[in-house]
Each structure stands twice: as C-alpha cells, then as structure tokens.
C-alpha cells in the first residue's frame, strides 16, 4: 500500500537525528514539525527567518509565527528570530544538517526540479539556496505525478533547481539514496513490490535494501 | 533635534513618484506594511518596479502587495514567489515583467545595496535557467528572457555574480521604533524588512509602537530610516 | 595664534549640522563627542558598532562602551549597538553624513594619507572604508608635522587612504575646502596671517574666505 | 537533546591544532574572549593564522590577543590594526606575516565566509597599496608583498574583489547564551564576535551568563555555535 501523506512524513521524521537543524520546504515537508520525534530534539528552520518551529497552534494563531507555506505554527524552546539574510547565511553557510524539499522530478544523478512546470506559473522561493547550501537534501514526494508519469527520471525535463544536490528520496512507495552520484533503492513501503517500484520509476537504480534491524 | 516621526503615511510617502523602484518588506502576509501600501494606493502612482518576496494571493479586497498588483500599478516585479493569479495572467499576456530571484539571493542583493558593495558571488542557481539564462521575464513579441549571468569557479565551486539592489524607496513594517528611526521587529515579521530598509535611498517605516529602545534591543539602527509613522489601529 | 587641540575640536563642532550622523576617527577627532553643540543633536558613530556616543564618563567607565580609540565614553538617548558588518554597512552605504579623520598628508586634489608613514608601523583600521563611504570627509589635523613639514601637499608622498575623498581640512591655522577637486582657503584662525598659512602650505590653493556673517 | 555547553574551556578547545586558522572576536580590549585565549595558551599550539581586528598592547602579563602574540604562537596575522610593539619587531625582522585588511573589509570577509558566498566587490581601498599591491606582508629575503587585487568598474565606480574568510576555529565572547548556542552580546562588545562565529568551521564561545533567551533578543542564532563555556569569574 502506498503511504499516505502523514505516513510519509512520519517515515521521514523517523530518520532525523537528534540535534539536527532541519529546513522544511513548502508542500508535504511542512508536515514534519507536527510529527513526534521521541527522544530526539529537532530544530526546524523556516527560510524567512525563524528557527525552532513546532506544530500548528491549538489556540489562536500568532500572525507573526508562520512556516514557509505561510501557515500558522508555534515556537518551541530554543527558538530564534532573525532576518532573511541571516536565514540564508545559515542555509548557504552549511549550518543546516538537512533540508527536506518537495519535487516535480529527480534525475538519476541527483538533479532536482521543483519550481517550474514548463508553461506554468513560476515561483522559486528559497529552494535553490537550500539545495546548494544544506549538508543533506532529502526529497519527499509522490512516486508518480497526477498523470501517472514517473518523477524519478533518467534526466529532469523540467527546469532545474540544483545539479546533483539530492541525497535521498522518500516517496509513497519507496526510499532511495544517492551514493557516489548513483541511485540505490533502500526501502519499500509496506506491501509494495519491487516490480511496482520498477514499473513506476524511469531512473536507473540498483537495489540494496537497508537491513531494518541495522541503523538506517 | 532628530525626529523622523511624520504626521501620517501620506506625508511620509509624498515623494514617491510613478516609475519609482520600491522594495517592500514581508513574507506572505507576515510583516507586510499594509498601511503604507494603502497610502501609496491613495496616490496616482503607477509603473512601479516593485521588489518584494511574494505577490499576495489575488483575493478581492486584499491589502498588501496583492493590492498594488491588482490595481495595475506594477510594471516590473522582482521577487522569488510571485504567486498571484491575476498578476500571472498579465505576465502571460506580456503586460508585466517578472525578474525571478532566488529568495536568499534577493535578501543578499538588498543587503549588498545597503552596504555599498558592488556585487557578490553566490553558489545559488548555478546550473539553472536563473543563472544560465532562458527564464522568460516578459512574454510577447519580442519575448524578453533573462540573459546568462557571469559565473566564476572559486576554490573549485561555481558561483554566480549578482549585483546589488538600490531601490528609490522602501516600505517597511516594524514592531517598535523610536524617534531616531531605530527599529525592532517581531518574530517572523522581521524577514526582509531590515534588508529593505538598508537597501533603499529613502526608507519609510510603519511601526505598531513608538517609544524608546535599549541599544541592544534594536534590530536595525536609525541611520537606515528616513520617515516613520505609527501603524493605523485596525478598523473595528 | 594657532588653535589648541580643544579649540580646533570646538571649531569643527561648530560646523556640524543638527541631526547629522558623524563618525569620528582616532586621534583629535575623538574630542568631538565631548564638545557642546547647543541646539543641535549629533549622533556620533563608532566604527566597531556603536551609535549615539557621548563624552567620557564622569563615574566608573563601562568596558563595553568605548570609542574607536578604545577610550571609555558614554551612550546618549537614541544610542544603538550592532555588529561591525552593520557598522560598515552604515559607512559604505552612504548613511554617514560626515566622517572626521586625522591625517598625515592631504593632497591638493583631496587625496588622503593617514595610515602609514613609510617604514613605520602599519595599521589602517576603518579609515579606508570611512573615506570612500561617508557623504562628507573632513580632516582635522595640525597644519605641519612635528618636523615642520607641510601636511597640505601638492601630492601625498605617503601611502594613500583614499583618492580625492577629502571635502574640508580643519587645521590649527586655517580651514580649507575642496570644491570641484580644487583647494580653497576659507578661514584663518584668529591672529593667523595669510602669509603664515602660505609659508606652511605646499598645496596650491585659492583664497576665498567665508563671510563670517553668512552661514559657513 | 541539544546541549552545546561544555565542562570547561579546555574541553571546548581540544581540537585546536598547531597551524590552524583562528578568528577571534573583540575590538581593542572590548569583547575579547580572554578565558578562551588563556585556555588555548595552556596547550602546545603554535604557528597559528590569527584573524582579529587588533593586536593588543604588548604589555607585560597582558591577556587576550596580545598574549598569543607575546608567546610567539602566531605566524600570520590578518587584521586591520595590529599595533603591538613586540609583534611589530618580529614583523620587521621577517619572522611573522601581516595581512593588513581594512576593518570593514575584514568584517565583510568574515560574514561572506559564514554566508557561503564566494566573494564580493567593495569600493574600499581602491587606489591604495592594499588593493593595487605593494604592502609588505613579510620583510626579509625574499620580501613578500601583497599582490594586486582584481578590480572592476561597476556603474562607473571602481570596486576591489575580496574573498571570504573561512577559518578553522572562532573564539567568541558573548554576554548571554542558551544551551542551543543562541547568543546575545553587550553594547560595544558585540563588534566582530557574531561575524567570527558565522565564519568559522568550529565556533567556541565564552558567555558571561547562561540561561534562556527570547527569540527576538537573540543577536546570533545557535546554528553558528558549536561549543559553549561559561566565562571564568574574575580572580579576586
């Protein structure tokens, strides 16, 4: 069974490491600060200038506390506010342990396309800065697009966000990892077969599944 | 005596002219100087080059940057995330120009302008149509595309040369200000506001509170601010 | 009679305009924040990151409130603290109405040399940033050096701080102004003759004295 | 759990090695991390490339950067105002190297390093021996002089190309810090400290107070900080 959006968020959250500073891009990654990470303290970074963001508020939202998608969120212990140039100094300066972005397409050598469908409405936000700056870039996306086309492709056909920047891809069907620029299938969603993944993936990849008993 | 407090937004904005470049603080709806934008829209000012991260939502009766776009006062929009349906229609019709700038590059270009620097090299956008050229800035005949930017390999990495932004005016929202123009912002409402204030030749600020500020509580010192008005109370 | 150091500081302070943001460099210019400027509010800027500096403290000095010469000063109403990059953004970004610097030599086209005597100990501080960034640069210096050599010269023989940057020169003998790159004598210190000034000045200049009744 | 607080300065500095580049905050005696420098001097660390605005005074028993220079631990000093008689003697004897950097350029090079930029153009020093070349960095045979820097005319003004500083370590003094490494400085003691913290690969901070900080009271956010120690109380 393909993972639901929140199941995918929980799956990604499970791989975060204690103490990481993590930027979450618009779309599905914005679900991450709402996921429990027991025993781990994660500092979520919002590109416009907040650090230490938590789940959506239960009471009245504060209009000055929003995520990158402009949704109301909360601030946790250790939160800090700063201007957008400092925020991107954190990103470009290599102080983000991880950035989690949505994607339209991912190429088999780690290229990322996530900001423009040709002929569509342009809007790049901070994706290009985050893609080149973060120590790790994970993509979180549906395995195929609404028309059923593979999003993991030999090469991106849409305009790029960054070249060779992606480290991992988490989809509703599987987890892939780039190692030395080559793509490896690491994990299948529960009940999803290797054949189904292969049928819905255009990119070339090898299969070397994580041993679930070992550290991911 | 130094006193940058003006009687109202209209007085503070009276030198803004058609064709001016105007940088506006805010991210989404957070930290947008909506009173200043309303006061600007009360004047016959058109053909603006607006620099701001977002384009508003395009909803009826919307305040903020969306209002400037809805009233067709903008001929060129430098931004990272213009998302505004009405503005996109005019973009695809070839009536307006979009300079799409990655968000971190936009922040840094404003800071460079305010810091008297001539340009900087950033790794952002290398290998994309925002650096190699090709992004359509204006549709129609002739189509205007972004020219390739100068690139340079420094210590084995490719960087893109970006130039500063030095707009004529900045519209800025602060939480608290003193008569010297010293500013303090609130949480996520800070975003582009201090950078906009630094970059512009003339900076106009709306502040929710006017009072005194301790030296270490100031987020942006007064020399970057020219005119200051108190935010209008919300209509009941 | 040549002006004493404090008389020179008072003379310069008299020409400051209400509301100006003024950087003062090390040496004699540091006397400026101690001068009364009745009816005028001046914001003194210190290059490392303070604005709104006042005279030396009467009581116990605060080690975190010092001027560019590392001397204890005070903070006045409207004072702000910021880091050194913001401080030089103010300077380079054209937000200083005036910078007052000491000088070793000034050339007759406005060149400034104030950081290195050839063969001597090098130390430039913020002078080069201030010289190119401030809207106006005034020099405050003795008319001649300790050996009696003219400091207002046809050309600087010492390494430059900036090219064509000086707007006015206040010495113990006279006030000069650069207009269109040419040097003009504007004022004599009380009791100092035109001949004495001419004898102690190597630079070419014209004489067009300010009318004391008019605004300087 | 995130906790950057270390047991003491010795533990926080244990990876600093001979030959390392170390940026140190402070202006004159204000905001200098003297406890960290003392702890560094307790280790056998030599041949450092020190980056700091000032060189101390060269007085007997002096703490701070002057101590590092007095103990002959510095082979290269990047600074704007090295003024230290003992160090100047070694400079004129050809034993040490001075990279003289205008103060605003020094601040901006640190910030650029911390911001992941590849370089920037500044008008500062154009037309001087610090841009055109000729400044003697090291005396002796052969003499080493500063090579001319790349220059470029942008919008009619001459700018000098400067490259970022990205030192191995930063020693920083803060007024207050929390366990996340968020920092607040005090008045003129801020100066180069936040920029040093941004620039370095590993940043070590001494703070006078450790406690909590409100988000808008933070001058530098925690991701730029690696290790944190409480300032030693002054000896009676």
Both tokens of A26, joined, read 């618009």
Contacts with D, A 177-196, CB within 8 Å:
none
pLDDT number for residue A215? 44
**A contact chains, 3+ CB pairs < 8 A:** B, D
Task: Choose from A25, A49, A94, A165 for mutation: most chain B CBs within 10 A.
Answer: A49
The whole-angstrom separation of Cα B75 and Cα B73 is: 7
**Mean pLDDT, range A50-70, rounded to an integer:** 96
C75 contacts on B by Cβ (under 8 Å): 215
Shortest distance, CA A67 to any CA of chain B (angstroms): 9
> What residues have CB less than 8 Å from D98, skipping those under 6 apart?
C122, D76, D77, D78, D79, D82, D91, D137, D138
pLDDT band at D236 (very low <50, low <70, confident <90, very high): low
Beta bridge pairs of residue B27: B30
The whole-angstrom separation of Cα D184 and Cα D199 is: 17
The whole-angstrom separation of Cα D188 and Cα C48 is: 7
B188–A132 CB contact, under 8 Å: no
Note whether D123 and D78 are within 8 A (CB): no
**Which ranges constitute the DSSP H helices of chain C?**
5-14, 84-92, 127-133, 194-199
Contacts with C, D 167-226, CB within 8 Å:
185-195, 219
Query: How many other C-beta atoms lie within 10 A of the C-beta of residue B64?
Result: 21
Who has greater pLDDT, B141 or A23?
A23
D100–C122 CB contact, under 8 Å: yes
Out of A63, A75, A124, name the one closest to residue B80 (CB). A124
User: Which residue in A41, A47, A58, A187 is the catalytic one?
Assistant: A47
Active-site residue flag, A177: no
Out of A45, A81, A95, name the one closest to residue D224 (CB). A95
> Does the CB of A21 have a partner CB in chain D at under 8 Å?
yes
C161–D188 CB contact, under 8 Å: no
pLDDT band at D57 (very low <50, low <70, confident <90, very high): confident
The whole-angstrom separation of Cα D121 and Cα D16 is: 32
Q: Is A162 helix (H, G, I), strand (E, B) or coil?
A: strand
D138 contacts on C by Cβ (under 8 Å): none
Task: Choose from D174, D188, D194, D208 for mutation: most chain C CBs within 10 A.
Answer: D188
pLDDT number for residue C214? 47
**Letter string b/e over residues A53-91, b meaning 16 or more CB atoms within 10 A of that residue's CB:** bbeeeeeeebbbbbbbebeebbbbebbbbbbbbbbbbbb
The whole-angstrom separation of Cα D135 and Cα D98 is: 10
Q: Which of B222, B210, B219 is nearest to B180 (CA)?
A: B222
**Mean pLDDT, range A135-161, rounded to an integer:** 98
Q: How many Å separate Cα C137 from the centre of its chain? A: 7
pLDDT, averaged across chain A:
96
Out of C18, C41, C86, name the one closest to residue B221 (CB). C86
pLDDT, averaged across chain D:
96
For the cut 50, the answer to whether the pLDDT of residue A111 exceeds it is yes
Query: For residue A49, what are the CA distances in angstroms to A83, B62, D81?
Result: 5, 24, 34
Beta bridge pairs of residue A98: A22
Shortest distance, CA D111 to any CA of chain A (angstroms): 9
Give residue-wise pLDDT tens across range D199-230.
Answer: 999 999 999 999 999 999 999 999 999 999 99
C123 contacts on D by Cβ (under 8 Å): 80-83, 100
Give residue-wise pLDDT tens across range D94-146.
Answer: 999 999 999 999 999 999 999 999 999 999 999 999 999 999 999 999 999 99
pLDDT band at D235 (very low <50, low <70, confident <90, very high): low
B149 contacts on A by Cβ (under 8 Å): none
Nearest-Cα residue of chain B relative to residue D184 = B216
Beta bridge pairs of residue C113: C105
pLDDT along chain C (216 residues), means of 10: 95 98 94 96 98 96 96 97 98 98 98 96 97 98 97 98 98 96 95 97 97 57
Residue with tokens 């204006």: B138
User: Which residue in C47, C108, C177, C187 is the catalytic one?
Assistant: C47
Out of A19, A80, A95, name the one closest to residue D218 (CB). A80
Q: Is B76 helix (H, G, I), strand (E, B) or coil?
A: strand
| Backbone angle region of D53, left / alpha / beta, with phi > 0 → left and psi within -120 to 50 → alpha | alpha
ipTM (interface predicted TM): 0.97
The whole-angstrom separation of Cα A204 and Cα C16 is: 72
B127 contacts on A by Cβ (under 8 Å): 160, 162-163
D2 contacts on A by Cβ (under 8 Å): 18-19, 41, 43, 78
pLDDT tens for chain B, 236 residues: list them.
Answer: 999 999 999 999 999 999 999 999 999 999 999 999 999 999 999 999 999 999 998 888 999 999 999 999 999 999 999 999 999 999 999 999 999 999 999 999 999 999 999 999 999 999 999 999 999 999 999 999 999 999 999 999 999 999 999 999 999 999 999 999 999 999 999 999 999 999 999 999 999 999 999 999 999 999 999 999 999 877 65
For the cut 50, the answer to whether the pLDDT of residue A17 exceeds it is yes
Decide: C and A in contact? Rule: 3+ Cβ pairs under 8 Å. no
* Strands B183-184 and D157-162, sheet pairing: unpaired
Q: Which of C91, D163, D161, D165 is nearest to B115 (CA)?
A: C91
**Mean pLDDT, range A99-113, rounded to an integer:** 98
For the cut 80, the answer to whether the pLDDT of residue A156 exceeds it is yes
Out of A46, A83, A122, name the one closest to residue B194 (CB). A83
The whole-angstrom separation of Cα D31 and Cα D188 is: 7
pLDDT band at A216 (very low <50, low <70, confident <90, very high): very low
pTM tops 0.90: yes
Q: Which of C138, C141, C140, C143 is nearest to C192 (CA)?
A: C143
* Strands B119-122 and D119-122, sheet pairing: antiparallel
> Does the CB of A117 have a partner CB in chain B at under 8 Å?
no
**Mean pLDDT, range A181-199, rounded to an integer:** 96
D117 contacts on B by Cβ (under 8 Å): 108, 120-122, 159
Residue with tokens 């605005």: D53
Nearest-Cα residue of chain A relative to residue B121 = A92
C50–B178 CB contact, under 8 Å: no
> Does the CB of C47 have a partner CB in chain D at under 8 Å?
yes
Q: Which of D46, D113, D107, D111 is nearest to D78 (CA)?
A: D107
Out of A78, A88, A95, name the one closest to residue D178 (CB). A78
Give residue-wise pLDDT tens across range D141-150.
Answer: 999 999 999 9
D185–B216 CB contact, under 8 Å: yes
> What residues have CB less than 8 Å from C130, skipping those under 6 apart?
C23, C25, C47, C91, C96, C99, C101, C137
DSSP B38: H
pLDDT number for residue C181? 84
pLDDT number for residue A181? 84
D115–A41 CB contact, under 8 Å: no
């Amino acid at each position: 069974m393909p993972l639901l959006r929140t199941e995918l968020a929980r799956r990604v959250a499970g791989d975060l490491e204690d103490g990481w500073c993590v930027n979450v891009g618009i779309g599905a990654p914005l679900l991450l600060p709402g996921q429990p990470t027991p025993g781990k303290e994660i500092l979520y970074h919002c590109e416009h200038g907040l650090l230490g963001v938590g789940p959506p508020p239960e009471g009245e939202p504060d209009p000055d506390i929003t995520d990158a998608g402009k949704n109301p969120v909360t601030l946790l212990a250790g939160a800090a506010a700063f201007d957008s140039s400092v925020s991107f100094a954190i990103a470009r300066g290599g102080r983000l342990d991880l950035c989690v972005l949505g994607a339209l397409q991912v190429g088999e050598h780690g290229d990322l396309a996530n900001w423009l469908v040709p002929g569509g409405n342009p809007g790049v936000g901070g994706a290009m800065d985050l893609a080149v700056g973060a120590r790790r870039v994970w993509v979180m996306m549906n395995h195929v697009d609404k028309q059923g086309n593979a999003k993991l492709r030999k090469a991106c056909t849409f305009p790029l966000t960054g070249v060779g920047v992606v480290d991992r891809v988490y989809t509703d069907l599987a987890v892939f990892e780039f190692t030395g620029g080559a793509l490896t299938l690491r994990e299948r969603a529960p009940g999803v077969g290797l054949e189904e993944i292969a049928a819905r993936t255009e990119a070339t990849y090898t299969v070397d599944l994580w041993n679930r008993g070992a550290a991911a | 005596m130094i006193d940058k407090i003006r009687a109202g937004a209209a007085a503070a904005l009276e030198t803004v002219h058609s064709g001016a470049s105007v940088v506006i603080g805010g991210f989404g709806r957070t930290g947008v100087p909506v009173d200043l934008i309303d006061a600007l829209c009360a004047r016959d000012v058109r053909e603006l080059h607006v620099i701001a991260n977002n384009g508003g939502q395009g909803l009826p009766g919307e305040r903020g940057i969306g209002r400037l776009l809805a009233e067709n006062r903008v001929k060129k929009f430098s931004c990272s995330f213009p998302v505004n349906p009405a503005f996109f229609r005019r973009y695809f019709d070839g009536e307006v120009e979009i300079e799409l700038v990655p968000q971190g590059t936009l922040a840094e270009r404003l800071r460079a302008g305010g810091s008297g620097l001539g340009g900087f090299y950033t790794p952002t956008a290398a290998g994309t149509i925002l650096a190699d050229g090709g992004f359509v800035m204006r549709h129609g005949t002739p189509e205007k595309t972004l020219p390739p930017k100068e690139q340079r390999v420094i210590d084995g990495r490719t960087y893109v040369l970006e130039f500063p932004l030095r707009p004529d005016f900045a519209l800025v929202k602060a939480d608290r200000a003193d008569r010297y123009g010293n500013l303090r912002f609130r949480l996520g409402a800070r975003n582009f506001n201090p950078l906009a204030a630094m970059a512009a030749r003339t900076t106009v600020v709306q502040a929710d509170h006017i009072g005194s500020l301790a030296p270490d509580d100031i987020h942006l010192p007064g020399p970057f601010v020219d005119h200051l008005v108190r935010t209008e109370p919300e209509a009941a």
